[in-house]
Chains A and B, each alone.
Chain A
Amino acid sequence: MGLVVLRRKRPIGLPHGLERPSSSANDVYLSRRNDLIAWGRKYSMWPFNFGLSCCYVEMATSITSKFDISRFGSEIIRGSPREADVMVVAGTVFAKMAPLVLHMYEQMMEPRWVICMGSCASSGGMYDIYSVVQGVDSFLPVDVYVQGCPPSPDAFMRGLVLLGEAVATEKRPLSWVVGPQGVIRTVKPSLRDTMRPERQKQTDLRSPDEV
């Protein structure tokens, strides 16, 4: 892959694999083109303005000023699937809606990602009922699962950050005629396992009798 020379005064974050040659001046950085593009993708994940039920209200809350999703480069909510990078399946996947969800996912352009927000979208959650599809992953590839019913805006944004981290290390062909084809994704970690030691350290739980 070709080398890219970046010139900027104050980098906001270093792309993965970006090196600063010791011989060069302070404002020159070198990076592989693939890494640079992945870094750019990480900070400009545009969600599709798409919601199914309760979870969407919490997703919309993350856009408002207390939570401010624009800190992660995702405040540009796109109304058309063609312009969106990430589809947040926010809510229950209903039997009548499932074909539409798939149809809209197929209308999105590569590269595209899916965040599965909330218990219903992940597994059906508390709705093991005739009209609910038990998990959107039965017909869509899911990148990140966010738990909660509904997840708080913080939980959703954490999922978005996790997805950003995965996207930044993903290897994709630069074009359908250049280089090896196929996407090399990072292994998805299970946060339940990685967070367990830290969570087990917590022994003092706040009493619900005080505000």
Chain B
Amino acid sequence: MIATTGTIGELSERFGAGSLPAQSTKDGVPTVWAGAERFREVLTWLKSREGGSYSMLLDITAIDERSRAHREDQPPADFSVVYYLVSMERNQDVRVKVPLLGSYPSLRTITDLWPNADWYERETWDMFGITFEGHPHLRRILTPPWWEGHPLRKEHPARATEMGPYHMSSDDAQRMLATLEFKPEDWGMKRENGDHQYMFLNIGPQHPATHGIVRFTVQLDGEEIVDLVPDIGFHHRGAEKMGERQTWHTYIPYTDRIDYLGGLLNNFPYVLAVEKLAGIEVPERAQVIRVMMAELFRVISHLVYYGTFSADLGQMSPLFWMFNDRERAFDIVEAVTGGRMHPAWFRIGGVAMDLPAGWDRMMRDFITYMRRRIRDYDVTVMKNRIVKARTKGIGLVSKEEAVAWGATGPFLRASGVDWDLRKKRPYGGYEKFEFDVPVGTHGDSYDRVAMHVEEIRQSLRIMEQCLNNMPAGHYKSDHPLATPPRKERTMHDIETLINHFLGVSWGPVVPAGEAIAVAEGSKGNHSYYLVSDGGTMSYRTRIRTPSFAHIQMVPMLCRGLTIPDLVAILGSIDYVLADIDR
């Protein structure tokens, strides 16, 4: 459905009727096509629009359109670049698509409009071979420097086993490592300043303070950090390409491993997006079960964050205590889903199975226990003088900067922006629950941690409401595309049996279309932008992750500070490597 009023109406009024063709999408996000010669004009206007500007660039990505069958209301294109903007004032999104022709097309950069476009454009170049003219450092970001080809192009092999056996001798390894050598000149950095030289310190990719395989090269003037260059891509697991060969149903386990501390929180936006495409309504009981388990995983993820943060500052005991609390939560996860970290338990149209008898007692015990523990941790961590000294006023991000760099989740709220999708755009049944959204004032490392601590309390509150008001009913929709389909009627009529057989063997056939679902993960906004070409697999799966945006901000956060501050800042940014590189 295409709305002719609102943003699309304003755009056609401003740029002339018919000059920006609109496209219908299943998610209802206003989508317009703008030619390569005027898309910058459109984006600039949207960014500076009076009375509710689209100030946040949430995502840039591309679609290889060359083998797509269903493009009925879209202009001809070999590739299309997709810009996704968010207006917080209007609480609305807009999608601007640019059609490109040719096998290696190019386009003007928008790094001058939004600073966070830098990494998104690099990624799009790396994955599709689309050049962004005027980009300051258009080089590989997710694939290694010795890579050939652009993986998300349709002609690039997907499987490693298609690419021949892997051989690497010691000499090969050294040759590859030589290409990873950091050259300050590549990043426009000087090696010396007048009478003295800068020191370049390499941290990572294997370092206890980096929380995973990411590399930071720090330019130091004595003790002071002058600049920093993050090097990512060590954890690139090809999750987006994977979506193009897994069925809609069998892709669910891959989503668990995106933010691997968040488990079911990752399933949420993915199944929501598929349900939008397929038009599935989820029964109330399934909604409440989903919300409860998602909030449990938010607590689990925040506990790891809280513990590792305090360990980064030199505390020992909180990490052990919080990991033990996490084990208690995992006892519930194991009883309900059978898994621990990656249960892959949400299903298209509901959840995998009903709650087991006795779940409520476990959940109630955990909530009571956790509330007491969180009070204890306030004393040991948040009120600790050393913790305060090392985090208050460190790693400052202003409201404007946070929005301009696409920060989301607790990171954004710590800077004083009241933006929680569970409140602002309730999805999956969140509108039924009472909870508060903590908002910070300073935007420093301490506030970022405080947001997480308060969120644990609020999640417990939501879980308690789920516990006390669990509705009766079915845990899965009876829509024919819900996968695996419900079993009751399967053996009674042939139509249902065939549908069941196809749903389980081939997987559901989701109608052609495009939809995005954005959800509030533990670290920020996760979004799954799915393009269906009317098949059993997605044509394009785009995963927008919060950690990618947040790690891009690290240089800005730590300029002028020292290495111990960098460690405290990294500890206060809730990030996970698979959530950066996917």
Contacts and interface: CB of A to CB of B under 8 A. Distances in A.
B168 A138 contact: yes
Interface stretch (B3-11, B216-224, B320-328, B550-558): B320-328
B158 interface: yes
Contacts of B577: 53
Contacts of A61: 323, 326-327
A47 to B, nearest CB: 13
A103 interface: yes
Q: Is the interface of A mostly helix, strand, loop or mixed?
A: loop
B389 interface: no
Given A92-B237, A126-B254, A53 B327 contact: no
B35 to A, nearest CB: 33
A149 B238 contact: no
Contacts of B174: 99, 103
B237 A94 contact: yes
Given A49-B208, A54-B260, A131-B236, A211 B320 contact: no
A106 B356 contact: no
A130 B166 contact: no
A11 interface: no
Contact of B144 (A54, A95, A149, A152): A95
A193 interface: no
Given A54-B260, A54-B342, A54-B578, A134 B206 contact: no
Interface string B319-362: 11001101100000001001011100000000001101111011
Interface in A95-130: 95-100, 102-104, 106, 124, 126-130
B213 A129 contact: no
Interface in B150-167: 151, 156-161, 163, 165-167
B177 interface: yes
A60 B324 CA distance: 12
A97 B234 contact: yes
Nearest to B352: A208
Contacts, number: 155
Contact of A99 (B163, B172, B235): B172
Contact of B168 (A102, A129, A211): A102
B230 interface: no
B219 to A, nearest CB: 22
A79 B208 contact: yes
Contacts of A149: 342
B115 interface: no
B235 A94 contact: yes
A65 B208 contact: no
B356 A209 contact: yes
A192 to B, nearest CB: 21
B468 interface: no
B203 to A, nearest CB: 12
Interface in B251-288: 253-254, 257, 260-261
A142 interface: no
Contact of A98 (B147, B163, B173, B238): B173
Interface in A50-64: 50-54, 56-58, 60-61, 64
A211 B356 contact: yes
Given A54-B257, A96-B233, A139 B168 contact: yes
Interface in A149-190: 149-150, 152
B47 interface: no
Contacts of A86: none
A129 B246 CA distance: 12
Contacts of A146: none
B242 interface: yes
B304 A130 contact: no
A210 interface: yes
B159 A130 contact: yes
Chain A interface residue number, banded: 35 or more
A201 interface: no
B193 interface: no
Nearest to A150: B341
A211 B578 CA distance: 32
B356 A138 contact: no
Contacts of B205: 97, 100
Contacts of A126: 253-254
Contacts of A130: 151, 156-160, 163, 238, 241
Contact of B234 (A54, A58, A66, A94): A94
B176 interface: yes
B163 to A, nearest CB: 6
Contacts of A45: none
A127 B142 CA distance: 16
A102 B357 CA distance: 49
A97 B327 contact: no
B484 to A, nearest CB: 16
Contacts of B358: 210-211
A58 B156 CA distance: 34
B357 A209 contact: yes
Contacts of B324: 64-66
A92 B237 CA distance: 8
B155 to A, nearest CB: 12
B173 A99 contact: yes
A130 B167 CA distance: 14
A100 B178 CA distance: 11
Contacts of A94: 213, 234-237
B170 interface: yes
Contacts of B159: 128-130
Contacts of A66: 323-324, 327
A66 B260 CA distance: 21
Given A49-B208, A94-B235, A126-B254, A134 B161 contact: yes
Contacts of B166: 98, 133-134, 138-139
A203 B319 CA distance: 40
Interface in B118-164: 142-144, 147, 151, 156-161, 163
A127 B246 CA distance: 11
B511 interface: no
Given A99-B177, A150-B341, A132 B335 contact: no
A138 to B, nearest CB: 5
B234 A65 contact: no
A96 to B, nearest CB: 4
Contact of A131 (B151, B161, B165, B170): B151
B212 interface: yes
Closest 6 CB pairs of A and B: A129-B238, A99-B173, A211-B358, A96-B144, A64-B323, A54-B260
19 contacts: A52-B235, A57-B304, A57-B341, A58-B341, A60-B323, A61-B326, A64-B323, A66-B324, A94-B236, A95-B236, A96-B233, A102-B168, A102-B170, A106-B170, A128-B161, A129-B159, A129-B241, A134-B160, A150-B341
Interface of B: 142-144, 147, 151, 156-161, 163, 165-170, 172-174, 176-177, 205-206, 208, 212-213, 233-238, 241-242, 253-254, 257, 260-261, 304, 319-320, 323-324, 326-327, 335, 338, 340-342, 353-354, 356-359, 361-362, 577-578
